[in-house]
């Protein structure tokens, strides 16, 4: 829960640490559109290692792909009675070959790419992060990689409608 005055406290138990905070959304007590959260059995909708989702190569530096999230993995199609307004996905990078730090950015298809990162990683790492992203009328989201090349895995775990 959010504290008094809308504040949240973060603490580090030992040493020093860099902290990056991105606000991806919020929950409210009000009855509003997009308030229905439906968990699904986790389903893999993208895996560049084996072609799941239609992409068979690592995501290279500056590359952008658009993947379908509506109508797959237990998420309703855009034309259904309750189309998704957002999806909750677990995004993993593996087989990373980058000369320095890199990051993935994920955003609604056919909109302006945001400046915030959704998953940060370095060479040789396998790392995952939970991401909430709006679903536009196309039913797709876009993913870009900043540096190097990496395999990308996306599992859908819930949706909002």
pLDDT tens string 33-69: 556 677 889 999 999 999 999 999 999 999 999 999 9
The whole-number pLDDT of residue 19 equals: 84
Question: Is there a domain that residue 51 lies in?
Answer: yes
The whole-number pLDDT of residue 9 equals: 83
Question: Is there a domain that residue 99 lies in?
Answer: yes
Question: Is there a domain that residue 100 lies in?
Answer: yes
pLDDT tens per residue, range 114-152: 999 999 999 999 999 999 999 999 999 999 999 999 999
The whole-number pLDDT of residue 24 equals: 57
Total count of domains within the chain: 1
pLDDT tens per residue, range 69-117: 999 999 999 999 999 999 999 999 999 998 889 999 999 999 999 999 9
Question: Is there a domain that residue 16 lies in?
Answer: no
Q: How far is CA 161 from CA 43, 84, 86, 112, 125, in A?
A: 18, 4, 7, 22, 34
Question: Is there a domain that residue 12 lies in?
Answer: no
Whether the per-residue pLDDT at 31 is higher than 70: the answer is: no
Give the list of residues 6+ apart from residue 92 with CB closer than 8 angstroms, or none. Answer: 126, 127, 128, 152, 153, 154, 155
Question: Is there a domain that residue 130 lies in?
Answer: yes
- Domain CATH number, residue 38: 2.60.120
Domain encompassing residue 60: 33-160
Question: Is there a domain that residue 14 lies in?
Answer: no
Question: Is there a domain that residue 120 lies in?
Answer: yes
């Amino acid at each position: 829960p959010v504290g008094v005055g809308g504040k949240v406290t973060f603490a580090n138990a030992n040493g020093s640490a860099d902290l990056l905070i991105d606000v991806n959304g919020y929950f409210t007590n009000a009855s509003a559109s997009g308030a229905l959260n439906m968990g699904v059995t986790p389903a893999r909708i993208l895996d560049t290692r084996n072609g799941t989702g239609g992409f068979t190569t690592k995501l290279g530096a500056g590359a952008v792909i658009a993947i379908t999230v509506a109508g797959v993995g237990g998420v309703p199609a855009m034309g259904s009675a309750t189309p998704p307004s957002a999806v909750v996905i677990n995004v993993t990078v593996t087989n990373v070959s980058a000369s320095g730090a890199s990051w993935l950015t994920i955003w609604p298809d056919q909109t302006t790419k945001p400046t915030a990162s959704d998953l940060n990683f370095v060479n040789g790492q396998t790392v995952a992060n939970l991401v909430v992203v709006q679903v536009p009328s196309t039913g797709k989201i876009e993913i870009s990689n900043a540096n190097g090349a990496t395999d990308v895995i996306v599992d859908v775990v819930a949706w909002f409608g």
